Chains A and B, each alone.
Chain A
Amino acid sequence: MQLSQEWIDIAYLMAASMFVLGIKGLARPKTARRGNLIAAAGMAIAAVATLLHRDIVSYEVIIAGVIIGAIVGAVLAIKVQMTAMPQMVALLNGFGGGASFTVASAQYFQGLGAAEPMATIPMIASGMAILIGTVTLTGSMVAFSKLQEIISGQPMGFPGMKFVNALLLGSAVVCIGYLVHDPSQTGFFWVLAVLAALLGLLLVLPIGGADMPVVIALLNSYSGVAAAAAGFVMNNSALIITGSLVGASGLILTNIMCKAMNRSLTNVLFGVMAEGGEKMDADEVYEGKIRSASPDEVGMILETAKRVVVVPGFGLAMAQAQHAVRELADTLDGMGVEVEYGIHPVAGRMPGHMNVLLAEAEVPYDKLKDMDAINPTFEETDVVIVIGANDVTNPLAREDKGSPIYGMPILNVDKARTVVVVKRSLSPGFAGLPNPLFAKDNTLMLFGDGKQAILDISTSLKDS
């Protein structure tokens, strides 16, 4: 059976509409799963319709590719730990970029064999898809390696890196220009691909671990733009619509992340941290003012509490403490204590990461509050338990105009009656700053491994 081009285009329209409905479903947790299934069905329609295209004459290569891809994809999706979700998304961003690059490349070489050379606009679009797709591919591989700790999360660079990047980008554009002028010069195609691959590496290497949420969101956006460019090459509306939806999505998330860190996108991209006025001395901030508590003492304070807020950070993921936290919350709930969770937009290493971890531990999603919802409630909160979060609770962001993080929106945990900070030591967070919160009169430090500390509090509560 073969379908005419009209019917195939109608199938693509159906697929695009179902993607829109799918994203619409994500507006509420209740409808989200159904939305995802609708989008998946749309994808199936588009793929099946394409298989019935008259240009497809052999199926061996297709079957081999689909089998390999499906096995790899399914294994990744089933095996990945929720703590490793940022790496998974980085990997998928990269594969998306790689797919757009290879599709545009195939189109380019197919065009070489045709009677007429590739026209100007499809050639420009091919060049863009190759450039952006390859940058996304190699950039995402660097992001993945940093998140997986295959390479150091520290910013890496050399003097004049910006200049080299500008040179790479400029040369890539020149290559596209030559290809538009004469598509048969395949040498320029290969040079373009290599330049773009290098550019992707050099763009992400100077970005530090703390900025990974921004990078992942931005690469997500790039992968969408690359797909849209491939759509212009192929004259394919489904690719254009979907690519622009994904591009917009990544851009919105990038913007949210930048705002939540009070950093501009250019500062993140070039690995620039704001310069602090005077260097703060950690000993001066902490000396003689740190009060540490035992799990039993914390348990006693919790016994008399009416309202408790848990503030999680990436340390919670590192310690795999999400289940222990939920058990503690259940115990408190049984005692009639109200427990909620305050989640900063950049807690964790990607947008929404903490929410997924806590959902995995079966924390009901209506207990997860975002920054704007939780901040006004701290004054009526008896105990805040900060676990694995640091910079997002640092009052310097609110009070010290000279501080590099001044102006970053934070969770005002210090407004609560008592703050318990669960932490291994007084070491600084990503920003490298001391946190005066730890030295406040209403703060108790509970030193130790996050998971063990929470388990110990639970035990002392149950025993009493």
Chain B
Amino acid sequence: MDFVALLTLFVLAVFLGFELISKVPPTLHTPLMSGSNAISGITIVGALLAAGYHGEGNEIVRVFGFIAVVLATINVVGGFMVTNRMLGMFKRK
């Protein structure tokens, strides 16, 4: 995709984000933050591509890729699990 198409996507997603998030009640703001940490772990797709890369003399790409996979996986696994744990506590009488 060219830059302008990506920029369009970015701007529209920001608007969508504002609409979506303003509907989340204050009582769920902590799970919202941990949940958004989890989905920002989507950087894992870039991390996987870097860690699985096999170019000539490009050790450093895989070193960065490895660190990225570890960090993004912590966010994804830790984020979704802790959000699920918290949301399980919210009960009605």
Contact = CB atoms under 8 A, between A and B. Distances in A.
A53 B49 contact: yes
Interface stretch (A170-178, A304-312, A354-362, A389-397): A354-362
Interface string A102-129: 1101110110010000000100000000
A29 B30 CA distance: 12
Contacts of B6: 231-232, 235, 237, 240
A343 B26 contact: yes
Nearest to B82: A77
B93 A364 contact: yes
A42 B40 CA distance: 12
A240 B9 contact: yes
Nearest to B45: A50
A353 B22 CA distance: 18
Interface residues of A, number: 113
Contacts of B10: 228, 232, 240-241, 244
A102 B64 contact: yes
B71 A99 contact: yes
B84 A36 contact: yes
Given A43-B38, A92-B34, 8 more contacts: A46-B45, A82-B86, A85-B86, A106-B50, A106-B64, A241-B13, A250-B33, A365-B91
Interface string A6-26: 000000100100011011101
A36 B81 CA distance: 9
B24 to A, nearest CB: 5
7 contacts: A19-B42, A22-B39, A76-B82, A96-B40, A228-B10, A239-B43, A244-B17
B49 A23 contact: no
Contact of A359 (B9, B43, B80, B91): B91
Contacts of B9: 237, 240-241
Contacts of A231: 6
B14 A40 contact: no
B73 to A, nearest CB: 3
Given A20-B20, A57-B52, A253 B33 contact: yes
Contacts of A402: none
A47 B39 CA distance: 12
A78 B81 contact: yes
Given A20-B16, A64-B66, A69-B73, A27 B30 contact: no
Given A32-B31, A64-B66, A223-B37, A252 B46 contact: no
What bracket does the count of chain B residues touching chain A fall in?
A: 35 or more
Contacts of B16: 20, 245, 248
A194 to B, nearest CB: 16
Contact of A93 (B37, B55, B77): B37
A135 B48 CA distance: 23
A74 B77 CA distance: 6
A58 B16 CA distance: 37
Interface of B: 1, 3, 6, 9-11, 13-14, 16-18, 20-58, 60-62, 64-93
A239 B30 contact: no
Interface string A242-265: 111111111011001000000000
Contacts of A53: 48-49, 52
For A27, A51, A92, the residue with the greatest tally of chain B CB atoms inside 10 Å of its CB is A92
Nearest to B27: A355
Contacts of A228: 10
B85 A223 contact: no
A103 B47 contact: yes
B40 A105 contact: no
A19 B17 CA distance: 11
A366 interface: yes
A319 interface: no
A151 interface: no
A236 B5 CA distance: 11
Contact of A103 (B36, B68, B85, B92): B68
Contacts of A73: 73-79, 81
Contacts of B69: 61-62, 65-66, 69
B91 A76 contact: no
A76 B84 contact: no
Contact of A61 (B20, B39, B66): B66
A65 B13 contact: no
Contacts of A50: 44-45, 48-49
For A51, A89, A223, A244, the residue with the greatest tally of chain B CB atoms inside 10 Å of its CB is A244
A33 B88 contact: yes
A157 interface: no
A436 interface: no
Contacts of B37: 89, 92-93, 96, 220, 223, 246
Contacts of A236: 45-46
Contact of A56 (B52, B61, B84): B52
